[in-house]
A and B are shown apart, each in its own frame.
Chain A
Amino acid sequence: MKVAVSGLNNTDNPAPGIPVIKSLQEKNSIVGFAYDPNEPGNYMNMCEKVYMMPYPSLGFEELKNRLLYVQEKEGLEAIIPNLDAELPLYIKFQDEIEAMGIKLCLPSLENFELRNKNKLDKLSKKLNMTYPKTYEVSSLRELEECTKESNFPLMIKGNYYKAYKAHNLESAIESFYKISNEWGFPVLVQEVVKGEELNLVGVGDGKGELKGAVAIKKLTTTEIGKIWTGVTIQNEKLMEIAKDFVKDTKWRGPFELECIVSMNNVFMIEINPRFPAWVYFATEIGVNLPQMVVDIMQDKDIKSQLEYPQNKMYVRFTGELVTDFTDFIKLFSTKEL
């Protein structure tokens, strides 16, 4: 398959693109979708070709025109979009994109909305999980009120993205403004729950079956909160939740569950409708989730893979490369490389 992959940033704030490409490159040919000529993935020689893409904020018309252009030149067969900002557009217009002969493996709009944090409450109950006490606030007055009921620290979160921990009212207000300016209202205020933060990456086939999943614990994170080292874990309860989640929603495509797990409870914190940037960890230990996504796109019958070795450790490091400045200039001026 000729697959286009976005999210080629690979700095200390890595996007999932390069890990996804590393998982796919053996069996597929790869086209890179970049939003900035500075993205390191443009120069790592892992893509046959790199195209600059219009910002998602420009709307579907711009995306469609660009896809038509790339489609004509490359005969693209599939796209795996990996960035939060572009997912709403790809999910909402997946029928139109599929009609261009480009396969996608994404959740339905309804399922995408489900991860709207103010709906996670209901979903958590369905999955026998606990959802931390959460308030929806749309004004400073409401923000102040809920800080009287619940004690600091509190998480201040956007409805879809962004979360900041606040230890006092001032920092809560600052985060409230930061989030509402970018993502609008409501802003969520959530009690901080105690337990281990565990993450699970999985792929659903759209028919209710969890095709593959790997759970990890992040051991250390970098200064900006990205995983640095991690270890595989086996948590029956978390795996059951992932299975129920996929069964219940008929989730199609990749997802990441962020949970806080204590001895008795699993708290749902967030569902991301895409691969995390550490997805290559799963590939390395034998669960190639990006390849599963490509197989699901082709309606291939694949067997599910929920077993993986214990005690595997993940270590992220930075690398460097030297390329010709003319490549950058070419990508900058012609929008392709």
Chain B
Amino acid sequence: MQTIDQLVLDENNMAFHPMMGNSYQLNAIAREILTLAKHHKSKDEIMEELLEKYDVSKNELFIDVSDFFSKLKVYGLA
């Protein structure tokens, strides 16, 4: 999770990676996930928190969060 630690998140839901010069566009919940990840929460812990807070089924959330993390991997962020 080291790369995620370096991401700078701003109020426009943009993430900037100062070491590499890459920028990422997020939505609010993506920003929330990244914030939790920066606090060293595991994927399971993050899902648990989101499930508590949002109106979504466990199955749908599982697919979406897994998908989100696969994309982070593709981007070299996770």
Contacts and interface: CB of A to CB of B under 8 A. Distances in A.
A–B touch (CB < 8 A): the answer is yes
Interface string A308-337: 000000000000000001000110110000
Contacts of B14: 329, 333
Interface in B15-35: 16, 23, 25
A329 B9 CA distance: 13
A332 B25 CA distance: 9
B59 interface: no
Q: Size band of the B side of the interface?
A: under 10
Interface in A91-114: none
Nearest to A332: B25
Contacts of A329: 12, 14, 23
A325 B13 CA distance: 15
A323 to B, nearest CB: 15
A102 B13 CA distance: 35
Contacts of B25: 332-333
A329 B16 CA distance: 10
Interface in A219-261: none
A332 B16 CA distance: 14
Interface of B: 12-14, 16, 23, 25
Interface of A: 325, 329-330, 332-333
Given A325-B16, A333-B13, A333-B14, 7 more contacts: A329-B12, A329-B14, A329-B23, A330-B12, A332-B25, A333-B12, A333-B25
10 contacts: A325-B16, A329-B12, A329-B14, A329-B23, A330-B12, A332-B25, A333-B12, A333-B13, A333-B14, A333-B25
